[in-house]
């Protein structure tokens, strides 16, 4: 029984790793590519004013957008490629852990009969407020 559980865990771990790799590697490559082009500078300047509120550089907007709208794995790929300080990584990690994969997770909430939109609003608000708060205290 224990052996079966270990095998199940191993297979699950490998399957998660495969899913992870399929998302993290392309995102990492694309974000690294952007860093080598003027496009990154443009994105950074565009989002700098908004990101300043949560103590993050403009480039970090890529990870936030990916995390909010797709999933955490894509955000992780972007974070790994960007050169962020440990304070910035902690802030962005917290913001994304509170609020991520919105389309999918709102659907799950809806499925168990609670209002997905209310949860969506609460999470987004909490995510931004915790970013502002952590920027202040860290």
Partner 1 sequence: MDLHGFIFEAAIGSVKNVLIMASFIIPIMIMLELAREKRILDRFSKKLAPALKIFGMSPESSFPLLAGIIFGISYGAGVIIDSAQSGRISWRDMFLVNIFLSVCHAMIEDTALFLVVGANPFVIIIGRFGLAIVITYIISRSKYFDRHYKVQTPGVSDVKGGR
Q: For the CB of residue 96, give the shortest distance to partner 1 in the complex, in Å.
A: 8
* Span from 40-48, 51-59, 79-87 in contact with partner 1 (CB under 8 A): 79-87
Alpha carbons 128 and 138: distance in angstroms, whole number: 15
Alpha carbons 20 and 27: distance in angstroms, whole number: 11
Note whether 114 binds partner 1 by CB under 8 A.
yes
Alpha carbons 89 and 103: distance in angstroms, whole number: 24
Note whether 67 binds partner 1 by CB under 8 A.
no
Alpha carbons 19 and 73: distance in angstroms, whole number: 9
How distant, in Å, are the alpha carbons of 52, 98, 125, 131 from that of 121?
Answer: 22, 12, 6, 16
* Span from 6-14, 41-49, 52-60 in contact with partner 1 (CB under 8 A): 6-14
127 Cβ neighbours under 8 A, 6+ residues apart: 95, 96, 98, 99
Name the residue nearer to partner 1 (CB basis): 49 or 85: 85
Binding site for partner 1 (CB under 8 A): 1-2, 4-6, 8-10, 12-14, 16-17, 20-21, 24-25, 28-29, 32-33, 36-37, 72-73, 76-77, 79-81, 84, 86, 89-90, 92-94, 96-98, 104-105, 108-109, 111-115, 119, 122-123, 126, 130, 134, 138
């Amino acid at each position: 029984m224990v052996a079966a559980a270990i095998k199940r865990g191993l297979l699950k771990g490998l399957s998660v790793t495969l899913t992870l790799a399929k998302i993290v590697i392309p995102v990492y490559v694309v974000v690294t590519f952007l860093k080598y082009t003027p496009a990154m500078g443009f994105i950074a300047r565009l989002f700098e004013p908004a990101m300043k509120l949560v103590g993050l550089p403009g480039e970090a907007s890529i990870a936030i957008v990916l995390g909010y709208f797709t999933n955490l794995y894509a955000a992780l790929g972007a974070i790994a490629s960007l050169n962020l300080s440990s304070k910035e990584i902690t802030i962005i990690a917290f913001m994304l852990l509170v609020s991520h994969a919105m389309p999918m997770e709102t659907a799950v909430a809806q499925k168990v009969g609670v209002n997905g939109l209310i949860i969506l609003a609460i999470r987004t608000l909490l995510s931004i407020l915790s970013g502002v708060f952590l920027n202040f205290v860290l």
